[in-house]
């Protein structure tokens, strides 16, 4: 019995989600020191409220962007333009709604959402075309849209902050459905769809094959360019939905600051979740946990009262510690140094004389 229990503990210990989940739990528990009611969730007017609900609600846009980033990284690529797509999507939707005579008209909101997502898909096709068809390095191809996209968002908003007052549009990022924030439900649906298509079909295996060795997968009959294009389109779609969430939550669009640096948080969430930047195997569940870790860390920083001028430094230190704890190589090296009497064998000198038997 003890052997089976030890084997079960070892399996859990080595699971790729063990350390991310443990780190998330520790972050959440640390808030109890400063806020004893941190885990309390209450129902008011048929809606759930609480710190945990807020973490999930404000982290929903990052979860979406990180989901798309995971599949892009799984193919061995990177997408630095997701922040710009977030800004463009929100800007176009708010611009369209602001031009309507009745901003609460459901049809007008649906058209605005459709146009924003359609433009996001076009931008994803553009990125995928540059990477898959033209052969430009992903970091360069997406850097082009990262820079130009901000300019496009500024053109859409005319350099101003577009403010709207639309109850149907407010539902996307700030509304509730079945007692839960609609943004959480939307992020959950997108996550389930991504898991369904990548783990219940051969799509996930093909993406991992492209990321492991694109040339070998092409020679084996896999249309690697098609799947590379597909992941960039999906990543842009996720960023477009996140842009709708962000602009809906504040009922305005800022082409300059919306989605700023979200691409870096998304990459960090993917890495914390256990997906290697070199491509190949990926973990969507780990990415979701990684995104929640980043949002929980931001909440913790404000809870403990870290001065605003040192927030980024504090966040960088904590993230570095988190990455080191999660690193198998670092843990193995640290545990080896902690064992007494264990030392690496001395390296044989290259000048050592070797006797050859007669």
pLDDT in tens, 83-110: 999 999 999 999 999 999 888 899 999 9
- Alpha-carbon torsion 268, 67, 287, 221, what sign? negative
The dihedral formed by the CA atoms of 298, 58, 267 and 281, expressed in degrees to the nearest 10? 120
Question: What pLDDT was estimated at residue 319?
Answer: 76
Question: What pLDDT was estimated at residue 348?
Answer: 46
CATH number of the structural domain 47-326: 1.10.3470
Of residues 80, 68, 77, 55, the one with CA closest to residue 261: 80
Lowest mean pLDDT among 41-55, 197-211, 325-339: 325-339
DSSP string for 129-189? IIIIII---HHHHHHHHHHHHHHHHHHHHTTS-EE---HHHHHHHH-EETTEEHHHHHHHH
Task: Tell me if 233 sits within 8 A of 128, measured CB to CB.
Answer: yes
What residues pair up with 42 in beta bridges, in sequence order? 49
Determine the Cα–Cα distance for residues 30 and 194; give it in Å rounded to an integer: 32
Give the pLDDT band (50/70/90) at residue 358.
very low
Token reading at 52: 């945990």
Burial 162-179 (b: 16+ CB within 10 A, else e): bebebebbbbbbbbbeee
Q: Residue 41: what are its φ and ψ, rounded to 5°? A: -125, 125
Mean pLDDT of the 239-252 span: 95
Q: Residue 253: what are its φ and ψ, rounded to 5°? A: -130, 130
Determine the Cα–Cα distance for residues 62 and 83; give it in Å rounded to an integer: 10
Average pLDDT, the chain: 86
Count the neighbouring beta carbons within 10 Å of the beta carbon of residue 181: 25
pTM equals: 0.87
Task: Tell me if 164 sits within 8 A of 251, measured CB to CB.
Answer: yes
Mean pLDDT of the 49-71 span: 94
Mean pLDDT of the 307-319 span: 77
In Å, how far from its chain's centre is CA 186?
Answer: 15
Q: Where are the domains positioned within the chain?
A: 47-326
Greater model confidence, 12 or 236: 236
Question: What pLDDT was estimated at residue 329?
Answer: 75
For 113-151, the pLDDT digits (tens) are: 999 999 999 999 999 999 999 989 999 999 999 999 999
pLDDT score of 196 more than 90 = yes
Q: What angle do CA 188, 189, 195 make, to 5 degrees?
A: 90
């Amino acid at each position: 019995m003890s052997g089976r229990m030890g084997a079960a503990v070892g399996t859990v210990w080595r699971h790729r989600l063990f350390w991310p989940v443990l780190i998330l739990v520790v972050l959440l528990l640390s808030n109890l020191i400063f806020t004893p009611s941190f885990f309390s969730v209450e129902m008011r007017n048929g809606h759930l409220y609480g710190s945990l609900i807020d973490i999930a609600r404000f982290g929903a846009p990052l979860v979406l962007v990180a989901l798309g980033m995971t599949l892009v990284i799984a193919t061995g690529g990177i997408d630095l333009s997701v922040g710009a797509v977030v800004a463009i999507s929100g800007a176009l939707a708010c611009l369209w709604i602001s031009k309507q005579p009745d901003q609460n008209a459901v049809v007008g909101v649906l058209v605005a959402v459709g146009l924003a997502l359609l433009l996001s898909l076009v931008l994803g096709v553009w990125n995928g075309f540059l990477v898959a068809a033209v052969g430009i390095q992903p970091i360069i191809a997406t850097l082009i849209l990262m820079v130009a996209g901000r300019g496009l968002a500024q053109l859409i908003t005319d350099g101003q902050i577009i403010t709207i007052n639309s109850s149907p549009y407010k539902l996307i990022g700030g509304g509730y459905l079945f007692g839960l924030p609609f943004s959480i439900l939307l992020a959950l649906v997108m996550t389930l769809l991504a898991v369904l298509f990548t783990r219940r079909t051969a799509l996930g295996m093909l993406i991992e094959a492209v990321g492991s060795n694109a040339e070998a997968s092409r020679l084996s009959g896999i249309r690697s360019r098609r799947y590379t294009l597909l992941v960039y389109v999906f990543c842009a779609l996720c960023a477009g939905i996140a842009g709708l969430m962000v602009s809906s939550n504040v009922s305005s669009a800022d082409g300059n600051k919306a989605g700023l640096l979200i691409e870096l948080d998304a990459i960090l969430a993917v890495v914390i979740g256990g997906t290697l930047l070199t491509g190949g195997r990926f973990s969507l569940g780990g990415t979701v946990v990684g995104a929640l870790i980043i949002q929980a860390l931001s909440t913790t920083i404000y809870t403990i009262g870290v001065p605003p001028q040192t927030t980024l430094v504090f966040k960088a230190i904590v993230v570095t510690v988190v990455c080191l704890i999660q690193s198998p190589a670092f843990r193995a090296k640290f545990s080896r140094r902690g064992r007494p009497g264990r030392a690496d064998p001395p390296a044989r000198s290259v000048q050592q004389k070797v006797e050859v038997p007669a």
